[in-house]
Structure 1
Amino acid sequence: MIIPRVLVLYEYSAVGLPHGSAYIRLLQPLTHPSISGRFYVTPSPVYYGQAAEIVVVDRCWRPDCTAQMAAALVADLRRNAAKLVYQIDDDLLALPGDDPAAQAKREIVATFLREADGVIVSTPALRARYAAHTARVVVVANALDERLLVQAEIALPAVTQRVVLGYMGTHTHDADLLLLLSALTELAHTTDTELELQIVGGLAKPETLARISQLPFPVTHLTPPAIEYPQFLPWFTGNVRWDIALAPLADTPFNRAKSDIKFLDYAALGAPGVYSDLPVYAATVRHGQTGLLAANDTASWVKAIRSLIEQPDLRRELAANARRYLYSERILAVRATAWADALEAIWRG
Structure 2
Amino acid sequence: MAELDDDLLTDAAVDRLVSQGYDHVRLETMKRLVKFADRVIVSTPTLATSVREVNRSIVVVPNVVDPELWTRPRPMLVRESSDESLRVLYMGSWTHAGDLDLLRPVFARFIAEGRPIALETVGIADHDEGWFERLDIPAGRGNYPEFVSWLMDNRHRWDIAVAPLEDTEFNAQKSDLKFLEYTMLGLPTIASDVGPYKPMAAHGLRLARTEEDWHAALSEALGDRSVYLSQAVNAREYVEANRTLTDSHRWINAIMGRDR
TM class, shorter-chain normalised? 0.7 to 0.9
1:200 aligns with 2:133: no
Identity of aligned residues (%): 31
- Residue 204 of structure 2 corresponds to residue 290 of structure 1: yes
Q: Which AA in structure 2 matches 1:237? A: M
Q: How does 1:201-280 map to 2 (within 5 A)?
A: 201-204=123-126, 209=127, 213-215=129-131, 219-224=133-138, 226-241=141-156, 242-280=158-196
State the SS of the aligned residue for 1:117. Answer: coil
SS in 2 for 1:227: coil
Report the CA distance shift for 1:105/1:285 in structure 2 as closer, same or farther (over 3 A): farther
Alignment of 1:114-133 (within 5 A): 114-133=35-54
Shift of residue 240 of structure 1?
2.1
CA contact (8 A) 1:157 1:313 kept: no
1:91 aligned partner: 7
1:189 to 1:331, Cα distance in 2 relative to 1, 3 A: same
Tell me which moved more, 246-255 or 152-161: 152-161
Tell me the SS of whatever aligns to 1:138. strand
CA distance in 2, matches of 1:328, 1:108: 38
Q: What RMSD, in angstroms, separates the aligned Cα atoms of the two structures? A: 2.6
Matched, 1:310 2:223: yes
Per the alignment, residue 179 of structure 1 pairs with 102
Cα displacement (A) at 1:159: 10
Distance in 2 of aligned mates of 1:274 and 1:198: 15
- Please list, as runs of the form range in 1=range in 2, the aligned pairs for 1:67-82 lying within 5 A after superposition: none
The alpha carbon displacement at 1:140 in A equals 0.8
Q: Aligned to 1:140, which of 61, 79, 83?
A: 61
Higher-Rg structure is 1
Give the drift of 1:98: 5.7
1:110 Cα offset (Å): 3.2
Using the size of structure 1 for normalisation, the TM-score is 0.65
Structure 1 residue 343 displacement after superposition: 0.9
Is 1:167–2:82 an aligned residue pair?
no
Task: Flag the 1:303–1:229 CA change in 2: closer, same or farther, 3 A.
Answer: same
Deviation at 1:90, TM superposition (A): 1.0
Structure 2 portions without partners, runs of 5+: none
Unaligned runs of 5+ in 1: 1-84
User: Of 281, 299, 303, which residue of structure 1 is paired with 2:212?
Assistant: 299
The alpha-carbon deviation at position 104 of structure 1 amounts to 2.6
Please give the alpha-carbon distance, in whole angstroms, between the structure 2 residues aligned to 1:264 and 1:161.
27
Report the counterpart of residue 238 of structure 2 in structure 1. Answer: 325
The letter for the 1-side match of 2:212 is: A
Contact 2:117–2:222, Cα closer than 8 Å, also in 1: no
